[in-house]
Structure 1
């Protein structure tokens, strides 16, 4: 009798754990800190693969591509070699969500060094600090990838 009760309890715990895992959101932060089109494209490929994987499972995913340092060029209006891919990916992700986060500290430093205002692509959001943003996402349970 005790064995049956223990087996039933273990089964219930396993079922509850799998149900909780299924309800857990899929969230990934992808870091880009290099002014390298290969790295930028790899980050976008990673995002596309994650979107396709969870779409096939009929599950939503949230992605945040965070740029800082030389990687900010990925989201600069005047220097991004991947602007078209960013725009297409933004449309492709639905019903999931993708955000492109640009480091405000880096932008400010580039503006000072270059002597003019720097704009980012329309799909990007300025965050105060790219590194802090990544850290806070991880503290909230986001997975982290650096291509």
Structure 2
């Protein structure tokens, strides 16, 4: 057998292995996350850029909690995104943020609203959803959480 025929035969064999691997992976279904630690991961999420970012971040949390319901999240809202924490604000798809926030809060997600942003924008605290608590400064809260071992994410 000449060298070119050997290469062709090797290529056919490798291609067959690849197809078998794909077929096996497809038959196994979704792969679940494997915990690195016995303790639940703690994640602090910054939402400050606007309603699109807020919606994306909350959907990300929803997806992660389907994989690992033990994960803990604190969402800190400030800046342009503070409006997602206000009663009556709609998602880019037209649903109320309140429904998504309520659903996530029922799964243990905490929400924190920045008082400095509310004051600057002249938004009364009574407009903030009931699930949210108040922190004086959103950035300070995120730094504090990181110093306490929380992972930081900004979608």
Asked if 1:64 corresponds to 2:64, the answer is no
- Aligned pairs for 1:1-147 within 5 A: 22-36=37-51, 38-55=52-69, 60-79=70-89, 81=91, 82-91=97-106, 93=107, 97-111=108-122, 117-118=124-125, 119-147=127-155
CA distance in 2, matches of 1:34, 1:125: 20
CA distance in 2, matches of 1:121, 1:80: 13
TM-score (norm 2): 0.67
TM-score (norm 1): 0.70
* Equivalent pair of 1:73/1:80 in contact (CA under 8 Å): no
| Uncovered stretches (5+) of structure 2, i.e. residues with no partner | 1-35, 92-96
CA distance in 2, matches of 1:42, 1:34: 11
Question: 1:28 deviation in Å?
Answer: 0.4
CA distance in 1, matches of 2:64, 2:58: 10
Q: Give the root-mean-square deviation of aligned CA atoms.
A: 1.7
Q: SS in structure 1 opposite 2:124?
A: coil
Q: SS in structure 1 opposite 2:65?
A: helix
| Uncovered stretches (5+) of structure 1, i.e. residues with no partner | 1-20
Question: 1:78 deviation in Å?
Answer: 4.5
* Equivalent pair of 2:88/2:98 in contact (CA under 8 Å): no
Choose between structure 1 and 2 for higher RCO, CA contacts under 8 A separated by at least 6 residues.
1
CA distance in 2, matches of 1:137, 1:28: 9
